[in-house]
């Protein structure tokens, strides 16, 4: 045997079995110096290389090239390329002819070829270059093919892209049925690896069985079986709703790909992506149900405490409560209006720190404590708030709150009938707004004092103002004036402007006007108390 093939390694015996004299190349001894040099180069490189020689492109190749052609070896050795690759000759034949006629090399990246190298047309990808090999007379004797198979990289990238698209498509969906419908749509749009994708839903109670009976999964979540010679895969998914078995993702696997571990791993990742989306939807549904229940309980608690206001003769009192629009923001805002034993009217506006069920429950504690302290002792508003501080400390009410307690009493000036005196104390709460009978507005600003619950020995301060007939005082919580992107002073200025034309309105009308002007906030609830001294004294005596 010619020593030319000594470098062929494991292919040496295959080269020796070829009767080269019967091939278009003829006996080895008669080969041209160019062919012998090209063979020597090909056999001494570890990169996949094949020579396609002569008019019929007879094939000679090295060990590394065998993996690219599979079971076409060893019959490919010494055979014309058109006979070796009939299934792809329409693609590669014209490329080889162009190199021979033009002497220009080709460069092809990740070319898809359906190649029969393992008994079926297999989807393969190659990056390769065909280059002309010229003899001493500058004539093209053959073509050298330097190739690299990229099937693994292309399939991995293709599958990662599909998984990313699927994840993105399912990410914002809330309903399990929507998730399954969208998953099927996305997977059907890219039918390279999974074909005829569908979801089989479990049998409904008393209903007909599914179109295809669910497989027995055993301990796994993926089952591959054959139907009419085609591999099908079934992926177990969690149940959509109710009891019983979960849904099943079904698909036909590509007949052009081996069902290997990489393929099954991709299928499992598809199932995991859909499963995660379904679990996320179930979690969100449970969270919404819990949030709805919590909100209903909190609102019932708040509305049970926020009773209709006391309406003594000669005064108008209107109240409002509007919860935040976001599910989780159940606040601790409250109002109160009640008559004290001496006949004076007590008004309260307050806000417990926090936006949850605990804040609403704490609000109930503080409201009831304040009622008890105020009703049980004939003290000024400042003294009552100081007593509330002590009570919160002694009873371990671990919370902070802002509040205003006001007391309304008839004026003591006979020459000015219908006047009333408003006395109040402010524990860190936004200032009330006074609307004078002529429509002028002002904030009842006072030196700031600490919130309720910070200390049990706080000294509180009383403030007083005389209210002429036609005056209106608006108490509110910060949800009315605080908006994202604005500062507190801007909110207060806007509120006083909003009330400038309301001196002729009733207390109820003022409440409606404010809630209509300021839209519901997603972050905070709103409580309002509006006190109005009618312009003309109402007949009857103050109770």
Q: Do strands 420-427 and 463-467 pair parallel, antiparallel, or not at all (unpaired)?
A: antiparallel
The answer to whether the Cα torsion of 70, 72, 76, 77 is positive or negative is positive
Rounded Cα gap, residues 236 and 216, in angstroms:
10
Q: How far is CA 26 from CA 19, 23, 50, in A?
A: 9, 6, 18
Whether 327 has a pLDDT exceeding 70, the answer reads no
DSSP string, 431-469: PPEEE-TTS-EEE------PPBTS-SSPPP--EEEEE-T
Rounded Cα gap, residues 159 and 152, in angstroms:
11
Give the mean model confidence (pLDDT) for residues 335-354: 92
**CA nearest 150: which of 48, 62, 231?**
48
Whether 205 has a pLDDT exceeding 90, the answer reads no
Whether 71 has a pLDDT exceeding 50, the answer reads yes
Q: Would you mind telling me the total number of residues written for the chain in this entry? A: 543
Contact 469, 410 (CB under 8 A): no
Percentage, residues of the chain above pLDDT 70: 90
Tokens of residue 440, six digits: 């002028």
Residue 524 burial (CB count, 10 A)? 22
Contact 240, 201 (CB under 8 A): yes
H/E run at residue 390: helix 381-394
DSSP string, 13-51: HHHHHS-GGGSTT--GGG--HHHHHHHHHHHT-SS-EEE
Rounded Cα gap, residues 145 and 52, in angstroms:
8
What letter does residue 183 receive in the DSSP assignment? Answer: H
Confidence of residue 328 (pLDDT cuts 50, 70, 90): very low
Rounded Cα gap, residues 345 and 316, in angstroms:
11
User: Looking at the DSSP assignment, which residues form a beta bridge with residue 60?
Assistant: 51
Q: How far is CA 532 from CA 215, 470, 511, in A?
A: 74, 7, 11
pLDDT at position 485: 76
Q: How far is CA 194 from CA 202, 224, 264, in A?
A: 22, 13, 11
pLDDT per position as a tens digit, 469-513? 999 999 999 999 987 778 889 999 999 999 998 999 999 999 999
pLDDT at position 204: 45
Contact 232, 253 (CB under 8 A): yes
Residue 406 burial (CB count, 10 A)? 25
Rg (Cα) of the chain, in Å, rounded?
A: 43
Rounded Cα gap, residues 499 and 512, in angstroms:
12
What letter does residue 521 receive in the DSSP assignment? Answer: P
Tokens 């839209």 appear where? Answer: 519
Rounded Cα gap, residues 50 and 148, in angstroms:
11
pLDDT per position as a tens digit, 357-404? 778 888 889 999 999 999 877 889 999 999 999 999 989 898 999 999
* Mean pLDDT estimate for the chain: 89
Tokens 């109040």 appear where? Answer: 424
pLDDT per position as a tens digit, 114-129? 999 999 999 999 999 9
Q: What is the dihedral of CA 273, 227, 224, 68, to 10 degrees?
A: -90
Rounded Cα gap, residues 262 and 157, in angstroms:
12
């Amino acid at each position: 045997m010619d020593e030319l093939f000594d470098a062929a390694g494991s292919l040496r015996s295959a080269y020796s079995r070829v009767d080269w004299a019967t091939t278009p190349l003829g006996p080895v001894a008669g080969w041209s110096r160019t062919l012998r040099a090209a063979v020597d180069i090909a056999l001494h490189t570890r990169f996949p290389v094949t020579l396609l020689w002569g008019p019929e492109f007879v094939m000679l190749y090295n060990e590394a090239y065998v993996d690219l052609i599979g079971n076409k070896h060893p019959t490919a050795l010494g055979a014309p390329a058109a006979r070796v690759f009939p299934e792809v000759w329409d693609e590669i034949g014209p490329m080889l002819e162009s190199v021979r006629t033009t002497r220009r090399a080709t460069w092809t990246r990740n070319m898809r070829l359906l190649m029969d190298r393992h008994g079926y047309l297999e989807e393969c990808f190659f990056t390769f270059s065909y280059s002309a090999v010229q003899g001493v007379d500058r004539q093209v004797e053959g073509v050298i093919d330097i190739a690299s198979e990229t099937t693994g990289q292309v399939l991995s990238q293709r599958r990662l892209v599909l998984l990313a698209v699927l994840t993105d498509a399912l990410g914002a969906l809330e309903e399990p049925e929507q998730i399954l419908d969208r998953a099927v749509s996305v997977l059907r749009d890219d039918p390279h690896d999974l074909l005829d994708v569908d979801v089989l839903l479990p049998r409904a109670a008393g209903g007909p069985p599914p179109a295809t009976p669910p497989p027995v999964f055993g301990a796994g979540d993926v089952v591959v079986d054959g139907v009419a010679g085609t591999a099908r895969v079934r992926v177990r998914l969690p149940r959509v709703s109710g009891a019983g078995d979960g849904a099943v993702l079904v698909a036909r696997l590509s007949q052009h790909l081996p069902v290997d571990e990489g393929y099954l791993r991709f299928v499992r990742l598809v199932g995991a992506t859909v499963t995660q989306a379904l679990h996320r939807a179930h979690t969100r549904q449970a969270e919404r149900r819990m949030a709805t229940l919590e909100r209903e309980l909190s609102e019932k608690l708040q509305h049970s405490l926020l009773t209709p206001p006391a309406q003594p003769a000669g005064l108008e009192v209107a109240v409002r409560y509007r919860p935040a629009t976001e599910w989780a923001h159940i606040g601790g805002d409250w109002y109160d209006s009640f008559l004290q034993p001496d006949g004076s009217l007590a008004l309260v506006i307050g806000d417990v720190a926090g936006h949850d069920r605990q804040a609403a429950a704490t609000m109930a504690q503080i409201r009831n404590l304040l009622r008890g302290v105020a009703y049980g002792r004939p003290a000024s508003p400042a003294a009552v708030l100081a007593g509330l501080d002590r009570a919160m400390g002694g009873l371990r009410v671990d919370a902070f709150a802002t509040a205003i307690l006001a007391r309304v009493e008839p004026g003591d000036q006979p020459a000015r009938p219908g006047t009333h005196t408003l006395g109040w104390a402010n524990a860190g709460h936004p200032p009330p707004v006074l609307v004078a009978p002529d429509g002028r507005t002002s904030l009842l600003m006072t030196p700031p004092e600490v919130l309720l619950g910070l200390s049990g020995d706080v000294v509180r301060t009383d403030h007083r103002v005389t209210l002429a007939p036609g005056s209106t005082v608006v108490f509110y919580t910060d949800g009315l004036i605080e908006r994202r992107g604005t500062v507190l002073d801007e909110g207060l200025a806007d509120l006083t402007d909003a009330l400038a034309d309301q001196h002729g309105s009733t207390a109820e009308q003022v409440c409606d006007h404010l809630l209509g002007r300021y839209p519901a906030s997603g972050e905070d609830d709103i409580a309002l108390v509006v006190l109005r001294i009618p312009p003309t004294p109402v007949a009857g005596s103050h109770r």
